[in-house]
Structure 1
Amino acid sequence: MRNALSVDIEDWFQVGAFEKTIDRADWDSLVPRVERNTEAVLELFERKGAKATFFTLGWVAERYPQLIRRIVAEGHEIASHGWDHLRVFTMTPEQFRADIGRTRKTLEDVSGRPVIGYRAPSFSIDPRTPWAHPILAEQGYAYSSSVAPVHHDHYGWPDAPRFTFRPVAGSALIEIPVTTARLGSRNLPTGGGFCRLLPYRYSRWAYTRANRYDARPAVLYFHPWDIDPGQPRVANAPLRSKLRHYTLLSAMEGKLERLLDEFTWGRMDDVAAAEAKRTR
């Protein structure tokens, strides 16, 4: 079964864990590492023969257009991650519409390719944003991967479906939630920091279960900074944020290599096309 491989393109200082510690006005004065880290991801994918979707901030695309063009030239999909990592539930509908419109235009102008996919920063489409999916549908997006059906202190929509659903009646838009593993009555999260912090056998179990038990494709996501143990440390960040962000950075690339070897992966748009047929 082909699973969806995805990378959320943001720099180390743009993550949700540091949003209350690092001022957005200071971003341009900080040491950037997103280009070098994304290039390392591209090299990993090249070695493994894997294609992926890169959910990219408009802020990054505006500053590193050559990186976006390289991603496309190597056969990967460019999709939207919003402009500057504002959580959707912090915006009004009008602000959200403007955010995704500005980001899409920048990504399409730089890449020369249509943008049909969206992932909300920090999976921030949830019950507080009933207008978000309708706006994505209105704007002609084919798919979103913006829902995490889990309990988490930063995000989560635990009552959402675990697998692909149609969030807007009469629309072609589909939502492809990030993969969870069902254990009893609880959904367990996967990908990102969970892949990095937990033993490899947990990720393998979760994705195997999605494919074999649920008979559905899995969605793996991570960030370029997840494989960068040399990134700067934010000394004044909360202890919990530092533990989540910096622990086992040196182990992540090896875990990704094993996942790429043990499962079949592809771009989100290809998986979305198959899922759209399944949910008609």
Structure 2
Amino acid sequence: MILLGFDVEEFDLPFEYGKSLPFNEQLSISTTGTYSILAMLKSANIKATFFCTANYAINQPDVIARIVSEGHEIASHGYYHSEFKPEHLKQSKLALEQLSGTEVTGFRMARMMPVDEAEIQKAGYTYNSSINPTWIPGRYNNFGKPRTWFYDHDVLQIPASVSPVIRFPLFWLSFHNLPMPLIKSFAAAAYRKDGYLNLYFHPWEFTDLHQPDRFGVPGYVAKNSGDAFVSRIKNFIEWAQTKGWQFARTGDFADGVNEKTLVLK
């Protein structure tokens, strides 16, 4: 089973590189990418999960409505992408539920940063996908975390997928920079070991990031963005489907794990 997750947020990445971008453009870029993703998923006849910030959703309710109408899951990515307070956990959940008309059971912290699991449970989430169980300088140091799902404070943790043993991250940057045969090799090894893949991306990756004066993002981020990235993810999906692997919403996967856990108890 493959879980595709898309972090739908204000496109504030340029701020990390000394650039500014008007809020309406932040929304527009993420929306353009989201529509490309939706078209791609529809063509492949698969469902996915969209981890949305409440700030984006409140300002783009039509996008949220389309995501839901096409059968995808809405989960929380916090209230704002560049600001976090513990109370945002519950506030974002309630805002997204009101806007989407669906129950929001999942959470992913912005930039996959640490978050208090007791607060996640208190806010009413049943699963959290905020761990990248690898080591990346200046970003993650999670070699001590499990590679696959586990429970913390009765909340199901679903880490992002990494390869067995060396824990090479199968995250968005890998899909930009590695040759596709190598990505598929790592993915196949993880799938054989774990029985599933949990992959995450951002809508702005599906737009053209080769605009250094405007965005300032480094070449390894802009590489293979826009139409090239759509082609790469389409290629990966088609490859996985030829192997008979199924795609599922993260919440549905979590429900299955929780049900099996209850039976075992």
1:165 aligns with 2:150: yes
Q: What is the 5 A alignment of 1:1-280?
A: 2-11=1-10, 13-15=11-13, 18-19=15-16, 21-22=18-19, 26-28=22-24, 32-86=28-82, 95-96=85-86, 98-125=87-114, 129=115, 132-156=116-140, 157-168=142-153, 171=154, 173-183=155-165, 186-212=166-192, 214-229=193-208, 232-234=211-213, 237=216, 241-249=217-225, 250-263=227-240, 264-279=246-261
Deviation of 1:251 after TM superposition, in Å, equals 2.4
Deviation of 1:258 after TM superposition, in Å, equals 1.7
Gaps of 5+ in 2: 241-245
Specify the SS of the correspondent of 1:35. helix
Deviation of 1:271 after TM superposition, in Å, equals 1.2
CA contact (8 A) 1:52 1:76 kept: yes
Return closer, same or farther for 1:116/1:31 CA change in 2, 3 Å cut-off: closer
Give the TM-score, by structure 2 length: 0.88
Specify the SS of the correspondent of 1:115. coil
1:270 is aligned with what amino acid? D
Specify the SS of the correspondent of 1:5. strand
CA contact (8 A) 1:164 1:279 kept: no
Q: Percent identity?
A: 25
Return closer, same or farther for 1:218/1:60 CA change in 2, 3 Å cut-off: same
Q: What are the Cα deviations for residues 152-193 of structure 1, in whole angstroms up to 9, with x where unaligned?
A: 13422221100001012xx2x10000000024xx31111212
Gaps of 5+ in 1: none
Distance across 2 between alignment mates of 1:29 and 1:73: 25
CA contact (8 A) 1:58 1:83 kept: yes
Return closer, same or farther for 1:84/1:165 CA change in 2, 3 Å cut-off: same
Count of residues in correspondence between the two structures: 255
Give the TM-score, by structure 1 length: 0.83
Distance across 2 between alignment mates of 1:31 and 1:71: 16
Deviation of 1:29 after TM superposition, in Å, equals 6.4
2:235 is aligned with what amino acid? R
Distance across 2 between alignment mates of 1:200 and 1:232: 24
Specify the SS of the correspondent of 1:147. coil
Deviation of 1:71 after TM superposition, in Å, equals 0.2
